[in-house]
Amino acid sequence: MSDPIIRLRGIRRDYDMGGEVVHALRGVDLDIDRNSYIAIMGPSGSGKSTLMNLIGCLDTPTGGEYWLNGQEVSRMSDDDLARVRNREIGFVFQTFNLLPRATALQNVELPLVYAGMPAARRRQLAAESLTRVGLADRMDHRPNELSGGQRQRVAIARALVNRPSILLADEPTGNLDSATSGEIMKVFDRLHAEGQTVVMVTHEADIAEHAARVVVLHDGSVASDRTRARAAVA
């Protein structure tokens, strides 16, 4: 078996809240393998958002080591982290986080802009990515002309366009009704089936059901970590 794509060792993250130190993560060890489908759960305040920010390289730990796809990212500078986010991570947010004034295509192009790709190639890849999530006919629509489910699919297309090592989804169905949620989860399931590593943070048990492995955090530590048989996912 190859090295895990994510390797966390003794990860701690402390926040200084006006003189009082809050330990959001108290030594988390976690390995996530390539092509896995994992849900991180936990009640609010359990540290799951902090963990997701660390995995997404938006933040650096106070202590411990984080290896992402063979690189030690826990001590990187801001700009190096930006590069890692650009190449290794595809974010899907609860609130979609699309640029409101840009079209679906322009939104999807954005990571490629920061990767320094020429415009023509960028448009081509963005169009392919939108086609992959079934939005080939909505490329020139702005976010306010799209339904919630379509917006989240644009966000997924944007997350995938740079062929990231991991797709990192933070409450991806939190702002969607249950029918649309099911639709979006099917997209994630399919992407996983196609070989994409998916890391999902959620507090909804039925959403976590889609994942093959569920890690539950409690008070900044891993409280449980269980892997289901693949057969259960279908």
Q: Which is nearer to other proteins, 79 or 137 (CB)?
A: 79
Within 63-82, which residues bind other proteins (CB under 8 A)? 78-79, 82
Report, in Å, the least distance between residue 14 CB and other proteins: 15
Report, in Å, the least distance between residue 103 CB and other proteins: 11
Binding mask of the shown chain, residues 14 to 53, with x at each position contacting other proteins by CB under 8 A: ---------------------------------------x
Q: Are 214 and 39 in contact (CB under 8 A)?
A: yes
Stretch binding other proteins (CB under 8 A), from 24-32, 54-62, 127-135, 200-208: 54-62
What SS3 string covers the chain? CCCCCEEEEEEEEEEEECCEEEEEEEEEEEEECCCCEEEEECCCCCCHHHHHHHHCCCCCCCEEEEEECCEECCCCCHHHHHHHHHHHEEEECCCCCCCCCCCHHHHHHHHHHHCCCCHHHHHHHHHHHHHHCCCHHHCCCCHHHCCHHHHHHHHHHHHHCCCCCEEEEECCCCCCCHHHHHHHHHHHHHHHHCCCEEEEECCCHHHHCCCCEEEEEECCEEEEEEECCHHHHC
Q: Please identify which residue in 31, 59, 209, 219 interacts with other proteins, judged by CB under 8 A.
A: 59
How many residues at the interface with other proteins, by CB under 8 A? Answer: 25
Q: Please identify which residue in 3, 15, 101, 140 interacts with other proteins, judged by CB under 8 A.
A: 101
Q: Please identify which residue in 63, 76, 115, 218 interacts with other proteins, judged by CB under 8 A.
A: 115
Within 124-163, which residues bind other proteins (CB under 8 A)? 158, 162
Q: Which is nearer to other proteins, 4 or 162 (CB)?
A: 162
CA–CA distance, 133 with 221 (Å, rounded to integer): 35
Q: Please identify which residue in 3, 43, 75, 113 interacts with other proteins, judged by CB under 8 A.
A: 113
Q: Please identify which residue in 23, 35, 63, 114 interacts with other proteins, judged by CB under 8 A.
A: 114
Report, in Å, the least distance between residue 113 CB and other proteins: 6
